[in-house]
Structure 1
Amino acid sequence: MPFTLSAPAHSESLIKKSRFIGCVEPMADRASAQRRVAALRAEHPTATHVCWALMAGGHSAANDDGEPGGTAGRPMLEVLRHHDLEGVLATVVRYYGGTPLGAGGLVRAYSDSVAQALARAEKVPLVRWRALRCVLPYALEGWLRRELEAQGARLVDAQHGNGVTVSLRVPETQAEALVARINDAGQGRIEWLEDGTESSREEP
């Protein structure tokens, strides 16, 4: 099961007079990550490098920010991948201390900065939720509410007209089974409208 983080966590280390300030935090997509990195640059205007790595599905990315290729962003991304994280941004701000670390030293420094921050972070399960909408007979509303509670799903909205139009959030792993149970209970009287998938922490 993939995990994300409940809150940001930080680390700081001094290696051959270079200062490394690490941070790991929940982050949904690349645009949000880039805004966060821009904010870090503003907070640390005299820093030599602000390297980052984002593990977020199709939005995943890594940036060395002027360090030799493959010595910063990619190793940071590998640490996130090793911890089975999703929706997490890792950043490391470096103030150069005047002594070169070499490629191997840089890889270790950036990897360790992220690992040390993760050691202070609280990991929480990442649940993929499916949004479902359907129209069902009034007679089934009470049954559906009880069924949702049993399945760990959520009733987001219920509108009453000719039937009851309900919006649901269901853990993706249970969505197909729940749809089948609703269809069985409805005996052909269920009208499905739309659905979608999203990721969030354990709590919807």
Structure 2
Amino acid sequence: MNTTIKDDYFVYEEEIKKSRFICHLKRVGNEDEAREFINKIKKEHYKANHNCSAFTLGENQEIQRSSDDGEPSGTAGVPMLEVLKKREIINVVAVVTRYFGGVKLGAGGLIRAYAGSVAHALDEAPLVKIVEQQEIKINIDYSLFDNLNRFLDTQVLKLIDAQFTTEITGSIFVDLDKVDDILSQITESFNGKVSTSLGEKRFVEVDI
């Protein structure tokens, strides 16, 4: 299940051993947007010691990038990226700004701090899951319309783009993994008197 942040931008701040860690999450559509946001945060927080970053793009996280921005290699960007990967977050860039507070954390402490900053931000941010749905086109006689509406209500589905001509036509969108089951139920419930065909696919966002 792919997930992304619901809002365009979210920020979360915490203090770890006197250092300020500010995690900025931004929803992005491509690598240019991600890098533009990273540069924007760097300009806004130019007095910070580090602005480390990570982002994933694409339905299957095809693009993955990370930067330690001066922290010891592997202690910031990669741990941040791992959190995004494990949470199956897509099309989001995370920038963690660190204002050093005078207490060194060590490699293990840095890894926990940067990964934790992203994880805690994702715990607090409103998220949506991205679900692929299949359109099922429906043709039905007027005499069965009320029964169809009752059936759709029980399945929490809705007939859209309904056209009332010699018969009633419309579409429902069903989660991809439920298509076969819904088609079977329609056939069984209406004794084959409802004509169905597959249309286009779409992605929708559902609140988590």
**TM-score, normalised on structure 2?**
0.69
Q: Verify the 8 A CA contact 1:90 1:114 in the aligned structure 2.
A: no
Give the Å deviation of 1:71.
2.9
Q: Which of structure 1's runs of 4+ aligned residues deviate more than 6 A? A: none
Structure 1: gaps (5+ residues): none
1: CA distance between counterparts of 2:59 and 2:193? Answer: 37
One-letter amino acid matched to 1:108: R
Give the Å deviation of 1:160.
2.7
SS of the counterpart of 2:60?
helix
- CA shift in 2, pair 1:12/1:38, >3 Å: farther
Of the candidates 12, 16, 22, which is equivalent to residue 10 of structure 1? 12
- Any idea what the Cα deviations from partners look like across 1:39-67, whole Å, max 9, x if unmatched? 35324402543402337641352321645
2: CA distance between counterparts of 1:63 and 1:150? Answer: 46
SS of the counterpart of 2:74?
coil
RMSD: 3.7
1:177-196 paired onto structure 2 within 5 Å: 177-184=181-188, 185=190, 187=192, 190-196=195-201
Match in the other structure for 1:154: 158
Q: Percent identity?
A: 27
Match in the other structure for 2:131: 128
2: CA distance between counterparts of 1:190 and 1:109? Answer: 57
One-letter amino acid matched to 2:148: L
- Any idea what the Cα deviations from partners look like across 1:79-132, whole Å, max 9, x if unmatched? 3455x45447351333564977654343222112113323434566x3635231
**TM-score, normalised on structure 1?**
0.70
Aligned residues: 197
Match in the other structure for 1:145: 149
Does residue 79 (structure 1) correspond to residue 83 (structure 2)? The answer is: yes
2: CA distance between counterparts of 1:200 and 1:179? Answer: 23
One-letter amino acid matched to 2:24: C
- CA shift in 2, pair 1:56/1:142, >3 Å: farther
Match in the other structure for 1:38: 36
Match in the other structure for 2:96: 93
2: CA distance between counterparts of 1:154 and 1:182? Answer: 14
Q: Verify the 8 A CA contact 2:4 2:90 in the aligned structure 1.
A: yes
Match in the other structure for 2:60: 58
SS of the counterpart of 1:58?
coil
- CA shift in 2, pair 1:127/1:94, >3 Å: closer
Structure 2: gaps (5+ residues): none
